[in-house]
Amino acid sequence: MFGDIMAVIAACLAELAGKGLGRQVVERAKGLLAKLILPREVTKQVVERYIRKAMQIHIWHRLGREERALLIVVRRLPLVRSPVLRSVLHRIFLEIEMFTVRGKALFYGIIISMQSYMHRVSEEHKNVSHLLATGISYLNNPPMYRIYG
C-alpha cells in the first residue's frame, strides 16, 4: 500500500521533470535498487534478518498474509535454490527495504541520477555513497522544493 504511494510519487517526479516516463522509470529504479541492496543468495539467516527488520520498522502486519506465511516457512530452509521462489522473496525483501530510510534514499537517488544527463546510472551504480547522499538530500528538502530536473 505505502509502496504504491511511493511509486506514484516517483512517477509524478518523473512527469514533472518533463521526461514523461512514469512507470518505466519506477520499475527500472526498483530493478537497480534490487541489484544494489538485495543479497545474491537467500539463506536462512537472510530471511530471519528481513523478518526482524520488518518487525522493527513496524511493517510486518502491512505485508500480506501470504507474504508473511512464505517468510515464516522459508526461514526453515537452509538455502533457497528455486529461481521462482528467490524472485518472489526478492520482491518481498525489496518491499521491506523500501520502508527504510536507506532504501528510500537510494531509490530517489537512482531516480534523480536517471534524470541527469551528465551522469549515467550504470556509472553511479558503483558509487552507492553518491546515490545515498543524493537521495537523502532529496528527502530532506521541503516538498515544495523536491522537483529536480
Span 61-115, pLDDT tens digits: 999 999 999 999 999 999 999 999 999 999 999 999 999 999 999 998 888 887 7
Residue type, 57: I
How much is the pTM?
A: 0.75
Domain holding 78, by residue range, is 1-149
- Of 45, 17, 54, the closest CA to residue 149 belongs to 17
| Total count of domains within the chain | 1
